[in-house]
Structure 1
């Protein structure tokens, strides 16, 4: 166990960071951090300073002595770190707004991690995460990179394929699902075991065990009429009971974009008229949050942060850090290299599955349920899109990008894919330099 525990957070000026700070305070006895670096870029300087002030007040109130450093020098933050948490957004919320608006021009779902919007975000973010990994390889080769930046599965795959960095991809959906199952079954979360399989933002809960009893079928029936089984940024359209029973699994909230595409698209187009995109809503939420964060008398995470979404964010992140640091050997659902766990997918791709977490990292557990055709079909198609997206993000190859968009179920048209890609390239020139030499760009 390392007595000098250094953690670096890349994107430290995020509105989510107070969640992490609260988590560090709650877990200080088991996770005795000596140094915490919050790193950001010049455009995020003001927010970083505000977050840093709040973090110091929170630590002081808790009586915890952590050496907190704020920096715009990423390499300084990374050097000799034990854990590096990434939670950044390339292009900030303005870029997210473009990601959501561009597909809607062509009557396609506009969402920040799924479909064409997630594709644009991936293209911007892949070069940055790989650049960060170069720093990690040189300055902290033994560090564990925990990536929360979306699209988390695609970025994890890019790191696994193109770097030597030890990495695990993280999402709050698995832990959120477990919490929801506990609430649905009116029991403590520690009594619940769930088996999840799939890829990030496209995973299925295939087994629910409470107090040692498999109650999967009962849960799938209850879930059809239960509200709240979704994320803050996804409308809570209910599932059809017979559909869930026939599937034999509980889809995550993001499946609504695939299984209820017409309803979701209609809702997005209507929302665009009266409140703008989700990015516009989040901008307002963040403005209000940072005004709260500035208050010199505030020394706790404000409850208004729940409006931002990201429930259980710090729980997921610090569960993972603590299990690695303390060699716990517990089970968590994370993004790792497949290596045959999901037999219908290539070994080298990233998947989101149950893993045993110890001091060496995450070790996937063999699935206890067979992957049915209704799961396999969509899973293979979206994973193929992700593979092509990683390649396009690394190489800047226009044709690969078109192939990726065209096969995505939420695009599905060559003509539309070309129009969307050209818009993405035109409106993200500052962040897509990997495409600059391609003669097809207009």
Structure 2
């Protein structure tokens, strides 16, 4: 089996490689190809992977290439995590709206839309290359904004493109732990879009457990979402929101917290990873140690702006079950092994959320086997959640159309219709600010 990682020189690739080490023999993975647009990044990450293989005593040979056709040709699975514009682009995504008093965040708000505008055209090229050279491959996408990108590439690949995110699974595990239960014992009623989802029920076959969790401030205080949103608001909602909904429910608080911070997360990561990649190749053991230290510092700052706004002094806790690499491996194993696993994925709606059309990409529980994910029917949901999902789906689709067509008018429309953007005038100023600081965006969206 050939597996390809697009974005193979990325900082988090060692996490994916570690997960693949555990599956390679069982699934018969005999060819792993890392693709990146920069050879130097591949050369920096390669000894880290060699260090991991040596540490675990497992062999999974890999090779790097900057040739996309070579990378994807005849692959059975293509895993993709790229950052078009790299971290310099993320800093722009975050800082431009913030200068106008609007939330600047990687995937939420106008920052996420700008990220999508420059990412979707590149992802469409990947999809078209796969359609020609690996027509039977599955694309497992964790390129952000994951739901929007997945819906865009499904125009080419159909439902063989699957989006993943580790936030929903992490929320479910944390909620189960707060109830002193094992996740495998419970059914979780989760629905929404990527980074815009809610947990509206937890059942054990005998009774509904979510009210018990929401009624206990002591239990809520044991995990991040409980501390972020607070018991009073969670009991008002009667649901547990995905952590990214903090940016919607507490937008002004977050903007103030970010403005008071000396550095944005994007700026921190830019400086940190620039230093890591500048070091060049190292012996495997030394490269692995250096990567691990950098990763530890990186994980501590995850969603720090939301925690600061909420007054949560706890550090982010890495999920022991793994992040998106764990979700990616779960999808790969479910399809390759036809296991009929239950996973929360970004895939075409079909009839899961009846207020959206069948092709809208949603984030819901799915049964996953050889034919891919089959979304489970969710049905009707709380009116305010439905309204926000419908609005954001329109924003997402407008952004996709703008990215593919290069329409400045559509790009501004998408930003203006986003719930976190206060006016059309502000939307124009945000887009003009992006074009001024990102010359490639200005060229892609002529007036």
Q: Cα distance 1:18–1:212, how it changes in 2: closer, same or farther (>3 A)?
A: farther
Q: Residue 289 of structure 1: CA displacement?
A: 5.4
Q: Residue 165 of structure 1: CA displacement?
A: 6.8
Alignment match of 1:143 (pick from 137, 143, 148): 137
Report the counterpart of residue 278 of structure 1 in structure 2.
265
1:291-440 correspondence runs (5 A): 294-298=282-286, 302=292, 305-309=295-299, 311=318, 312-367=323-378, 370-431=380-441, 433-436=443-446, 440=447
Report the counterpart of residue 81 of structure 2 in structure 1.
87
Partner-residue secondary structure (3-state), 1:214: coil
Q: Cα distance 1:81–1:194, how it changes in 2: closer, same or farther (>3 A)?
A: same
Q: Residue 150 of structure 1: CA displacement?
A: 0.4
Report the counterpart of residue 24 of structure 1 in structure 2.
20
Alignment match of 1:14 (pick from 10, 13, 22): 10
Check if 1:167 corresponds to 2:167: no
Instruction: Name which of structure 1's ranges 138-147 and 395-404 shifts more when overlaid on structure 2.
Output: 395-404
Check if 1:117 corresponds to 2:107: no
Report the counterpart of residue 247 of structure 2 in structure 1.
257
1:209-220 correspondence runs (5 A): 209-210=203-204, 213-220=207-214
1:165-244 correspondence runs (5 A): 166-210=160-204, 213-222=207-216, 225-226=220-221, 228-230=223-225, 238-244=228-234
**Is the 8 Å Cα contact of residues 90 and 266 (structure 2) preserved in structure 1?**
yes
Structure 2: unaligned runs, 5 residues or longer: 303-317
Q: Cα distance 1:227–1:418, how it changes in 2: closer, same or farther (>3 A)?
A: farther
Tell me, in whole angstroms, the C-alpha distance in 2 between the residues paired with 1:212 and 1:427: 56
Q: Residue 296 of structure 1: CA displacement?
A: 3.0
**Is the 8 Å Cα contact of residues 48 and 285 (structure 2) preserved in structure 1?**
no
Q: Residue 390 of structure 1: CA displacement?
A: 0.8
TM-score by length of 1: 0.89
| Aligned pairs, number | 422
Q: Residue 208 of structure 1: CA displacement?
A: 1.6
Report the counterpart of residue 312 of structure 2 in structure 1.
none
Which digits, 9 at most, give the CA deviation of each residue in 1:19-62, with x for residues without a partner?
Answer: 111111223343331111111012xx222112112212322333
Instruction: Name which of structure 1's ranges 12-21 and 47-56 shifts more when overlaid on structure 2.
Output: 47-56
Tell me, in whole angstroms, the C-alpha distance in 2 between the residues paired with 1:427 and 1:227: 42
Partner-residue secondary structure (3-state), 1:318: helix
Instruction: Name which of structure 1's ranges 240-249 and 132-141 shifts more when overlaid on structure 2.
Output: 240-249
Partner-residue secondary structure (3-state), 1:28: helix
Tell me, in whole angstroms, the C-alpha distance in 2 between the residues paired with 1:145 and 1:165: 9
Q: Is the helix fraction higher in 1 or 2?
A: 2
Partner-residue secondary structure (3-state), 2:332: helix
Compute the RMSD of aligned alpha carbons.
Answer: 2.3
Report the counterpart of residue 61 of structure 1 in structure 2.
55
Q: Residue 432 of structure 1: CA displacement?
A: 5.7
Tell me, in whole angstroms, the C-alpha distance in 1 between the residues paired with 2:296 and 2:161: 28
Q: Cα distance 1:329–1:306, how it changes in 2: closer, same or farther (>3 A)?
A: farther
Partner-residue secondary structure (3-state), 2:191: strand
**Is the 8 Å Cα contact of residues 161 and 348 (structure 1) preserved in structure 2?**
no
Tell me, in whole angstroms, the C-alpha distance in 2 between the residues paired with 1:417 and 1:317: 35
Structure 1: unaligned runs, 5 residues or longer: 231-235
Partner-residue secondary structure (3-state), 2:27: coil
